[in-house]
Amino acid sequence: MKENTGKSKYVMLGMLALTPQTGYTIKKWLENEYSHFWQESYGQIYPTLKKLVEEGLAVSSHNSEHGNGRGQIIYTITEPGKKELSDWLSKAPEIEKFRYEILLKISFGDNTTKEVLLGHLDEFMKRNEKLLEDMNGYMEEMEGEKGQNFDCTYSKLTALCGIHLYSAMKAWAIEAKGIISAKGEKNHETKNT
Amino acid sequence: MKENTGKSKYVMLGMLALTPQTGYTIKKWLENEYSHFWQESYGQIYPTLKKLVEEGLAVSSHNSEHGNGRGQIIYTITEPGKKELSDWLSKAPEIEKFRYEILLKISFGDNTTKEVLLGHLDEFMKRNEKLLEDMNGYMEEMEGEKGQNFDCTYSKLTALCGIHLYSAMKAWAIEAKGIISAKGEKNHETKNT
DNA sequence: GAAAGCATGTAAAGTGTTACATGATTGG
DNA sequence: CCAATCATGTAACACTTTACATGCTTTC
């Protein structure tokens, strides 16, 4: 009845499966490579890492001699931790729930002006355009690196998902702007010259 | 310092702007027409409606003579409520945070088998295919209705967003399956016939 | 010498879902 | 008569972010 910590637990395990590291580096890693589809705050990271140790899924080693700050705590995944991770990976992912505030605002469009909606859509379009460019750049980076050393097939797949998503959202925003813009001109062609 | 109730407040206002109604009918409405991009539970709906009345953004009328159950409470939006709604509509929508569990699982793909990932992707693809079909059906429905009575431009725009999204996710899943399937066959063409 | 970064952590508040309790009416 | 639907509501729990506190090292 007390199973707790939700997905964060598995995210930590996945991060530690990559390499033994600290809560701080996990946060940086998430911010840089995962932020487009996942995010965790320190408020979740540190308590979750502690629980991992309590449950025997990771071990911690305190390193006070290393250089900066108050010393770091390096977490390493254990065999039971690897088992827990791979068990979770086998289970069907939960169905994602979307919460698009922009769609909400468009739904309620009758309570505002066309101009307001067009403004939101324009920002949305530009944001997705930018994300698309960034993601394409990131993809090229990986394509370069890949020829050399690492197999980043899985990272490329998540980036590819971003590319599909951002392209779709950009295309939709452009289409939506067109439809809303055209909405004023009905069946009357009255001209008062 | 105590501003509370987040987006739910505005969702309720938007629903009441449509027509005066009960918490129950708001829930049904959300489930049927908005669930692909927004969801609220009774645990949010009822307390939020009460707060709306406290703040003067809606008024409630208790109807005990109407038929079933313990009677219903019909909420009606007020002028200040309409103002609050349209003010919120003008503000830039918050940037959406995605949490795609399937991308997380793919990222951690090295800790499981190709088969597991292909299975997840296949389910994801089918689910999005289904959603796409449903949304296309819904769109056609509206196209029929529209010729007759109501202007459902905004509902059609949100449905269109769904169509773009689901198509993109379906396409990605198919592509990703191909890439993962091909991953085993490297540079060796060994055949043991 | 100040700012930024490294590094840890927690308390409080905010946000959201689930499970339960209640009870009448309608349809099979 | 039983199940479903209409209809309200809350307490407990689960999840997540924000703001704060601490303090060393490195860079400008």
Does the CB of B8 fall within 7 Å of any strand D atom?
no
Minimal C-alpha gap between A182 and chain B (Å): 11
Same domain? A66 vs A13: yes
Query: Which tokens belong to A88?
Result: 């979770």
Domain total for chain B?
2
Q: Are residues A106 and A85 in the same domain?
A: no
**Given a cut of 70, is residue B61 above it in pLDDT?**
yes
Q: Which residue has the higher pLDDT, B191 or B141?
A: B141
Q: Domain for residue A124, yes or no?
A: yes
Q: Is A30 on the interface with B (CB under 8 A)?
A: no
Nearest to A82 by CA among A16, A31, A128, A148: A16
- What's the rounded Cα separation, in Å, for the pair A85 and A9? 9
pLDDT band per the 50, 70, 90 thresholds, residue B144: confident
- Shortest CA distance from B123: residue in chain A: A92
- Using C1' positions and the CA of B71, the closest nucleotide is D7
Distance CA A143, CA A164 (A): 17
B51 falls within a domain: yes
Task: State which residue has its Cα closest to the C1' atom of D19.
Answer: A43
Q: SS3 of B6, please?
A: coil
> In this model, does residue A1 exceed pLDDT 50?
no
**pLDDT computed for residue A183 by the predictor:** 86
A105 vs B contacts (CB less than 8 Å): 89, 93
Local structure of residue A109 (DSSP, 8 states): G
Residue B87 contacts A, CB cutoff 8 Å: no
Distance from CA of B185 to the nearest CA of A (A): 13
Structure confidence at residue B70 (pLDDT): 72
CA of A38 and C1' of D16: distance in angstroms? 13
| Separation between Cα atoms, residue A26 and residue B182, nearest integer Å | 31
Distance B3 CA to D15 C1' (A): 20
Q: Would you say residue A191 lies in a domain?
A: no
Q: Are A96 and B99 a contacting pair at CB < 8 A?
A: yes
**Do A92 and B123 count as a contact with CB atoms less than 8 A apart?**
yes
Q: Within 10 Å of residue B50's Cβ, how many Cβ atoms?
A: 15
The C1' atom of C11 and the CA atom of A29 lie apart, in whole Å, by 26
Distance in angstroms: CA A124, C1' D8? 39
Rounded Cα–Cα distance for residues B119 and B181 (Å): 11
For the ranges A42-46, B36-40, B65-69, B133-137, the lowest mean pLDDT is seen at B65-69
Which is higher by pLDDT, B145 or B111?
Answer: B111
Alpha carbon B97 to its chain's center: 14
- Mark which residues 43-72 of A lie under 8 Å from B by CB: none
C-alpha pair distances (Å), B128 with each of B99, B122, B167, B173: 16, 10, 7, 9
Residue B174 has pLDDT above 80, yes or no: yes
Half-sphere exposure of A88 (CA within 13 A, CB side): 22
Last residue of a domain, one of B62, B90, B118: B90
Query: Are A164 and B171 within 8 A, CB to CB?
Result: yes
Both B64 and B106 in one domain: the answer is: no
Residue A74 belongs to a domain: yes
Is residue A73 situated within a structural domain?
yes
**Tens of pLDDT, residues A80-95:** 999 999 999 999 999 9
> Quick one: A85 and A109 in the same domain?
no
- Whether A10 and chain B come into contact, CB under 8 Å, resolves to yes
Distance CA A140, CA A155 (A): 12
**Per-residue confidence (pLDDT) for residue B63, from 0 to 100:** 83
pLDDT (tens digit, 9 = 90+) per residue, A116-172?
A: 999 999 999 999 999 999 999 999 988 886 666 788 999 999 999 999 999 999 999
Number of CB pairs < 8 Å for A and B? Answer: 182
Q: Are residues A12 and A83 in the same domain?
A: yes
d(CA A126, CA A25): 31
User: 10 Å Cβ neighbour count for A152?
Assistant: 15
Please check whether residue A161 is in contact with residue B103, taking contact to mean a CB–CB distance below 8 angstroms: yes
Q: Do residues B78 and B113 both lie within one domain? A: no
The confidence score (pLDDT) of residue A159 equals 97
User: Minimal CA–CA distance to A4: which of A73, A59, A50, A61?
Assistant: A50
pLDDT tens digits, A5-25: 699 999 999 999 999 999 999
What stretch of H or E contains A85? helix A79-90
Which residue(s) pair with B62 in the sheet? B73
pLDDT of residue B1: 34
Q: Is A130 on the interface with B (CB under 8 A)?
A: no
Beta strands in chain A (DSSP E): 58-63, 72-77
In a domain, A190, yes or no: no
**What's residue B149's pLDDT?**
78
Give, to the nearest 10 degrees, the angle between helix B42-54 and helix B8-18. 80
Same domain, yes or no: B36 and B84: yes
Give the separation between CA A132 and CA A162, rounded to whole angstroms: 7
Q: What is the distance between the alpha carbons of residues A64 and A87, in angstroms, rounded to a whole number?
A: 34
Report CB contact under 8 Å: B106, A7.
no
Domain boundary among B55, B90, B125: B90
Q: What is the CATH number of the domain that holds B47?
A: 1.10.10.10
Exposure letters A3-27 (e unless 16+ CB within 10 A, then b): eeeebbbbbbbbbbbeebbbbeebb
Shared domain check, A153 and A118: yes
Judgement on whether residues A142 and A174 belong to the same structural domain of the protein: yes
- Tens of pLDDT along A15-64? 999 999 999 999 999 999 999 999 999 999 999 999 999 999 999 998 87
Q: Are both B129 and B168 inside the same structural domain?
A: yes
Residue B64: its pLDDT value, please? 74
User: Containing H/E element for B74?
Assistant: strand B72-77
Position B126 scores a pLDDT of 98
Structural domain contains residue B187: no
Residue A41 at interface with chain B, using a CB cutoff of 8 Å = no
Average pLDDT for chain B? 91
- Domain containing B121 equals 101-182
B90:A112 CB<8 A: yes
Kindly tell me if the per-residue pLDDT of A187 is higher than 80. Answer: no
Q: Where a domain ends, among B35, B65, B90? A: B90
pLDDT band at residue B2 under the 50/70/90 scheme? very low
Amino acid at B16: L
Under the banding of pLDDT at 50, 70 and 90, the label for residue A184 is: confident
Are B16 and B75 a contacting pair, CB within 8 Å?
A: yes
Residues B85 and B111 in one domain: no
Q: If we measure between CA atoms, which residue out of B167, B185, B191, B155 comes closest to residue B32?
A: B155
Please indicate, yes or no, whether residues A112 and A62 belong to a single structural domain of this protein: no
B123–A82 C-beta distance less than 8 A: no
Instruction: Let me know if residue A96 belongs to a domain.
Output: no
Put simply, the answer to whether A85 touches B154 (Cβ < 8 Å) is no
DSSP assignment of A132-159, as one string? HHHHHHHHHHHHHHHHHS---HHHHHHH
